[in-house]
Amino acid sequence: MKRFGKFISQNPLIFLLLAIPLTLAAQVLHWSSIAVFILAAIGIIPLASYIGEATEDLASYTDPRLGALLNATLGNAAELIITVTAVQAGLLELVKASITGSIIGNLLLVLGFAFVVGGVKHGTQTFNKVNAGRNAILLVLAVVTLIIPSVFSQSIVGAAADSKVEALSIGVAIIMIALYGLGLFDASRSKESVLSHTVPKDELPDWTLAQAIIVLALATIGVVYMSESLVRVAEDVITGLGISEFFLGIILVPIIGNVAEHLVAVQMALKNKMDLSVEIAVSSSLQIALFVAPLLVFISLMLGHPMQLIFNKFELLALLAAVVISALVSSDGESTWLEGAGLLAIYLILGLAFFLLP
Amino acid sequence: MKRFGKFISQNPLIFLLLAIPLTLAAQVLHWSSIAVFILAAIGIIPLASYIGEATEDLASYTDPRLGALLNATLGNAAELIITVTAVQAGLLELVKASITGSIIGNLLLVLGFAFVVGGVKHGTQTFNKVNAGRNAILLVLAVVTLIIPSVFSQSIVGAAADSKVEALSIGVAIIMIALYGLGLFDASRSKESVLSHTVPKDELPDWTLAQAIIVLALATIGVVYMSESLVRVAEDVITGLGISEFFLGIILVPIIGNVAEHLVAVQMALKNKMDLSVEIAVSSSLQIALFVAPLLVFISLMLGHPMQLIFNKFELLALLAAVVISALVSSDGESTWLEGAGLLAIYLILGLAFFLLP
Amino acid sequence: MKRFGKFISQNPLIFLLLAIPLTLAAQVLHWSSIAVFILAAIGIIPLASYIGEATEDLASYTDPRLGALLNATLGNAAELIITVTAVQAGLLELVKASITGSIIGNLLLVLGFAFVVGGVKHGTQTFNKVNAGRNAILLVLAVVTLIIPSVFSQSIVGAAADSKVEALSIGVAIIMIALYGLGLFDASRSKESVLSHTVPKDELPDWTLAQAIIVLALATIGVVYMSESLVRVAEDVITGLGISEFFLGIILVPIIGNVAEHLVAVQMALKNKMDLSVEIAVSSSLQIALFVAPLLVFISLMLGHPMQLIFNKFELLALLAAVVISALVSSDGESTWLEGAGLLAIYLILGLAFFLLP
């Protein structure tokens, strides 16, 4: 009984797996769309967490170069699956909003929570200033690559405008993927790179290689199924709750896909391991901006719903605000609960504004 | 006679008190509006200075926590009184312009002057880099909270637009006041916080507790009266001089309300006490952004002239430019007269542009 | 023969001088406009380089104060000549685009190349953090002075709009020249200033004072002649190649005028002299922003084609992106090939967008 209690306290998300059979039941028994949506969303949380853990176990068994690549590409698998499913359903606004939402969620919500929770327990916390500076540079680079085509696209008008915006979007996606590839190449040679962050050994579950592969496969299938359930009822939920596709994409989807990772970042802050906490939030943002976003451009093209890397004014403002503030806050290698409260305040204000948008 | 000379040299503003009876005379004798305006403006300068000194004396007699609260809330009393009087008169554009003007005035004009004057006398001056960095973070946070609702409000259109902008504005004001409250709570526990800056003991006049309360009360009554005189003729002055309500608000009102404080910042730079000089300019900006601005939202609501925290494009650009540049300039913990000249150049360019605006 | 080979390897640009007689031939024999354009462009490259070298030799023979002034004013002589010739031809869009292009070319293309080439050879390279920080401050100041009037001009409408924009433009130009003058004054007193960067002695050719003056005179005459040839066919080239005046100005002209200087910056990076490499790129940008741009305002006024310091949205975005990223990248006093690749990626994306613009 005591062992069972310990198991539960180490795996608090396991209960959420119950949402998977409940989602099945909800669909079979024709429960309301909102019920299906909430259950599917809850069910994705532990599955996304298992994908992450299995990936990191797998990476630890392989050559470091392959490991870095695995971590980088599968690290946001859940998010990628949800967004690809949404692209298939033609919900392009939701997909773009969820890219923005993932980045600002990581940089404001997760980092803010980590700073507050860690700061209340440990006072002013410190982390490696040099690494934080390097990551901030990559982050600003990544966001500027997202901003440039958006601003330019607003002024490309006339007959050939659509094809020009598409050309620009694909060109930017190729340059970003190339830059990300160079980053991975660099990461495979140095252990410290933000693009190949690894959870320290003692945090890893004791899965064998075979177990890791099986968990990865099962969890991935689970996320695919749950994402389809989620996206199928998304439009009903938007109509039912009176919220916008944009709000669903920017606030809700990123939270669902990243809850597990967010928890780890906050736990690390509680253990006063701020380097890891900051790295998780920043590297996740970088992967979204430099890998997931351009990848979705290509995937959407193949799926016949071409999505362009063109964000609206609010998304750009939110991205810029989040990146500048988190870069600034982390540039001194120090965090306090007051800085965390400031990050959360910006997230709240952005959330309120997004909610009020028509 | 020598003692009198010393008294005057230590209290150079005392002559300006003569403007108070002259303002009374001007009103009774029906002098021109511009004469009343100039006299009232001059009269506010020494009164604002006495409020500041009395508040700091008062704070030194109380519990440090209460002292920090007193300093923070009464530190901008003169400015708050002028703006509330303007809100009552329905001059909302002037009020918002004066919020912007106070922030850019502190960060560009005051800091620029302090850097030039101090730099010419002492060469490259240094100040605490860590504190400057923390203040820069708070400043950027504060300005981003002002920018977000403004940008969002530009796109909230349709039937419910007005009530949505009002809701956003009130929501932002609540979050900002809460953040400011957290900042004060933090400040009450650490002596170093920018939100509770205190002038060093030897700068304080030797007032008893009772004297400080009396000075505070009298100076406050004086500022209230002079502000009313000032605001009453403001519209006449705008018409008479052919300047805009916006220009009056952004350049003139902030200078009037802050001259005394500005002088202290420059004096500290001359004494090579750059830490204090930078802190005065930055903390004053922070108080305006995080406390005065949201407070005016609530007060304006109660007075029946609801003012929304929505700034125009020029105000946003000016705020952003001022904050980014002053954050950058102060981030290396060094100041030179050339950096000061750069800050003044930006202020001049902004001033010229504001003047040319219709 | 061996000596000749050594001479060539030290003067790789000398072959490009052949383009000068070829340009003459092309014009006499009525070759195509595109041929004349390309030949004239190639011919300017070595001449611009000789102006630079002769100026630095000349500066080394004079009083340091005069030397700093010489370097600062003649350092961008080739660029100034090309742009003045274009102003005479009324190609104001091309001139403004080439100001922007020079700044982003220096900060993204040159710095990016230098970081990549140096980083591949030497790994992480370091440079003086304090100087880099100071330069970043001046750079941001300079770009903000360019941004403010542009944004303000967009909203000055009505009858007197044109004269107001002109007044603003001239006012800003005066303030910038004054700031630049103060910078030169400061530079004349300290050897380290970014406004008076000098190539180290051992990099200088061994010209006497008389030789330097003759080379300077001949090269200047050559650049004037070649610029006129270039500008005369510019409109034909725009029509012939189907590119915009804007694209020609923002990408091609700056590259032509700066190739020699760019090569030096990259060579310094290869020699692991990153301080010099960064300084060349940044000081060149500063001279363009604070000296060439306002000077062109006055010259264009005298030539009867008044050019206003008003840039379009894309130029502003490009300037802002270039300055913020290069400031950030150089603020930690470290460069890696990955950071360089990031700078080049931004330049590529901007170039693609500029190319696609109508």
Average pLDDT by stretches of 10, chain C with 358 residues? 63 78 85 87 86 80 70 76 89 89 91 92 85 80 86 73 84 90 76 52 67 88 88 85 84 78 82 84 86 91 88 87 84 85 92 84
Q: What residues of chain C lie within 8 A of the CB of A194, using their CB? A: none
Please answer whether residues A282 and A139 qualify as being in contact, where contact means their C-beta atoms are separated by less than 8 angstroms: yes
> Using an 8 Å Cβ cutoff, are A202 and A2 in contact?
no
State the pLDDT at residue B112. 92
Q: Which of B58-72, B110-124, C156-170 has the lowest mean pLDDT?
A: B58-72
Task: Name the residue facing C353 among A138, A149, A182 (closest C-beta).
Answer: A149
Q: Would you call C156 and B339 a contact, using CB atoms and an 8 Å cutoff? A: no
For residue C17, what pLDDT is reported?
83
Q: How confident is the model at residue A204 (pLDDT cuts 50, 70, 90)?
A: low
- Residue in C129, C134, C137, C176 to test binding to B, most B beta-carbons within 10 Å: C137
C114 or B75: whose pLDDT is higher? Answer: C114
Which of C133, C144, C171 is nearest residue B321 as measured by Cβ atoms? C144
Query: Between the CA of residue A340 and those of A116, A120, B355, what are the distances in Å?
Result: 5, 10, 39
The Cβ of residue C167 has, within 10 Å, a number of other Cβ atoms equal to 16
Q: Average the pLDDT over A140-157 and give the result.
A: 82
Query: What span, in angstroms and rounded, lies between the C-alpha atoms of B28 and B296?
Result: 31
In this predicted structure, which of A31-40, A250-259, B324-333, C154-163 has the lowest mean pLDDT?
C154-163
Confidence of residue A345 (pLDDT cuts 50, 70, 90): very high
A-chain residues within 8 Å CB-CB of B152?
314, 317, 353, 356-357
Q: What is the mean pLDDT of residues A64-73?
A: 68
Lowest mean pLDDT, pick from B7-16, B230-239, C330-339, C341-350: B7-16
Question: Which residues of chain C neighbour B350 with C-beta distances below 8 Å?
Answer: 148
Stretch among B153-162, B324-333, C78-87, C162-171 having the lowest mean pLDDT: B153-162
Q: Which of C141, C145, C156 sits opposite B356 (nearest CB)?
A: C156
CB C114 within 8 A of CB C340: yes
Give the Å distances, CA to CA, from C175 to B349, B350, C178: 8, 11, 5
Q: How far apart are CA B342 and CA C183, in angstroms?
A: 10
| Percent of chain B residues past pLDDT 90, beyond the cut | 14
Check whether A190 has a pLDDT greater than 70. no
Beta-carbon neighbour count of residue A173 at 10 Å? Answer: 22
Output the pLDDT for position A6: 66
Taking the whole predicted model, whether its pTM rises above 0.95 is answered as no
Question: Cβ contacts (< 8 Å) between C171 and chain B: which residues?
Answer: 349, 352
The confidence score (pLDDT) of residue C4 equals 64
In tens, the pLDDT along A97-133 reads: 999 999 999 899 999 999 999 999 988 888 887 777 7
Which pLDDT does position B241 carry in this prediction? 82
Contact residues, chain A to chain C, C-beta under 8 Å = 130, 133-134, 136-138, 140-141, 144-145, 147-149, 151-152, 155-158, 164, 167-168, 171-172, 175-176, 178-179, 182-183, 186, 327
pLDDT, tens digit (0-9, with 9 covering 90-100), for B172-226:
999 998 988 888 777 766 655 555 555 555 555 567 888 888 988 898 899 888 8
Distance from CA of B17 to the nearest CA of C (A): 36
How far is C10 from B335, CA to CA, in rounded Å? Answer: 42
Q: Which residue did the predictor score with more confidence, B60 or B288? A: B288
Q: Which among A336, A338, A350 has CB closest to B148?
A: A350
Structure tokens at C300: 């264009």
Q: What is the overall mean pLDDT for chain B? A: 82
Chain B residues with CB inside 8 Å of C147's CB?
317, 321
Residues B283-298, buried b or exposed e (16+ Cβ, 10 A)?
bbbbbbbbbbbbbbbe
Q: Looking at per-residue confidence, does B160 or A267 come out higher? A: A267
Neighbours of chain C (3+ CB pairs under 8 A): A, B
For residue B335, is pLDDT > 60? yes
Q: What is the pLDDT, as a whole number, of residue A355?
A: 85
Q: Which amino acid is at C54?
A: A
Band of residue A195 on the pLDDT scale cut at 50, 70, 90: low
Which residues of chain A are within 8 Å of residue C353 when distances are taken between CB atoms? 148-149, 152, 168
Q: Give the CA dihedral B162, B164, B165, B170, nearest 10 degrees.
A: 120
DSSP C13: G
Q: Is the dihedral of CA A55, A60, A61, A64 positive or negative?
A: positive
Whether the CB-CB separation of C183 and C344 falls below 8 Å is answered with no
Tell me: pLDDT of B61 over 70.
Answer: yes
Q: What is the mean pLDDT of residues A157-168?
A: 78
DSSP structure class, residue A125: E
pLDDT of residue C299: 92
Model confidence band, residue A188 (pLDDT cutoffs 50, 70, 90): low
Identify whether the C-beta of residue A283 lies closer than 8 Å to the C-beta of residue A135. Answer: yes
Q: What is the pLDDT of residue B8?
A: 63
How far is Cα of residue C345 from the mean position of the Cα atoms in its chain? 20
Within a 10 A sphere around the Cβ of B47, how many other Cβ atoms? 29
Report which residue type is found at A145: T
In this structure, which amino acid lies at residue B91?
L
CB contact under 8 A, A151 and C348: no
Q: What is the mean pLDDT of chain A?
A: 82
Q: Take residue A48 and report the two structure tokens written for it.
A: 């996304």
Amino acid identity of C234? A
What pLDDT score was predicted for residue A114? 92
Q: Tell me the shortest Cα–Cα distance from C341 to chain B, in angstroms.
A: 25
